[in-house]
Amino acid sequence: MSRALFPVSDHCFQDVPVWAEGTARLPHLDHDRIGHTRWCKCTNCISLPTKEESVCCHELANLTRYITREVKCVTLEETFRDECLDEVLLISHLKYKSKISKNEFLHKRAEFLQRAAYRSFQSWAHGFCGPKRGIPIPACVVSLVRRTFPVPLIPGKPMDYSFSEGPAVDMANTG
């Protein structure tokens, strides 16, 4: 087949990540991160209980390629929303990647959807090695995932997003 039929072939794969998987650098975290979000540069992060979770999308090397003048936070990136927040897609992932029954899913729907969203985020952000490396999930992503798949309120009980597993990165690696 003639190369002339593919005039843009030199530009093919220009969107394929060029970083080597597994090379993600962990951000340097100082101690003063609890109880405020002054460390956030994207304006969408929330305060989380530990400094390891208190990380902004601007601080993770693999995410900076998504941040532009228009897209100031990865949660505004279209491909992130398509891959990590689409409920139909996440349920499909749960069906073939998890060992949960339909009843278990229906019982803890929000928790399983959040887990699947975090897992999808790690793959989207870091490639195949992501989930194994314990790279934190930015607090802006945690905030949006929680708001997208909220835990149903139980009358008389305060809202509890944390589940028993703690940080989002741990939720991504289990279930």
Q: Establish if 84 lies at the interface with Zn ion (CB under 5 A).
A: no
Among 24, 48, 55, 57, binds Zn ion (CB under 5 A): 57
Helix or strand or coil: residue 109? helix
Q: Using CA atoms, how far apart are residues 139 and 53, in angstroms rounded to an integer?
A: 7
Burial class (CB in 10 A: 0-12, 13-18, 19+), 137: buried
Q: Using CA atoms, how far apart are residues 121 and 52, in angstroms rounded to an integer?
A: 17
Q: Establish if 56 lies at the interface with Zn ion (CB under 5 A).
A: yes
Residues 6+ positions from 111 with CB-CB distance below 8 Å: 151, 163, 171, 175
Provide, rounded to whole angstroms, the least separation between the CB of residue 32 and Zn ion. 16
Provide, rounded to whole angstroms, the least separation between the CB of residue 54 and Zn ion. 9
Nearer to Zn ion, 117 or 140 (CB): 140
Among 24, 48, 63, 73, binds Zn ion (CB under 5 A): 73
Residues 6+ positions from 132 with CB-CB distance below 8 Å: 173
- 8 to 27, contacts with Zn ion by CB under 5 A? none
- 108 to 167, contacts with Zn ion by CB under 5 A? 140
Nearer to Zn ion, 67 or 91 (CB): 67
Residues 6+ positions from 21 with CB-CB distance below 8 Å: 126, 127, 128, 129, 130
Q: Establish if 60 lies at the interface with Zn ion (CB under 5 A).
A: no
Provide, rounded to whole angstroms, the least separation between the CB of residue 14 and Zn ion. 25
Q: Establish if 63 lies at the interface with Zn ion (CB under 5 A).
A: no
Nearer to Zn ion, 42 or 48 (CB): 42
Count Cβ atoms below 10 Å from residue 109 Cβ, excluding itself.
16
Q: Establish if 45 lies at the interface with Zn ion (CB under 5 A).
A: yes
- 24 to 43, contacts with Zn ion by CB under 5 A? 40, 42
Residues that bind Zn ion (CB under 5 A): 40, 42, 44-45, 56-57, 73, 140
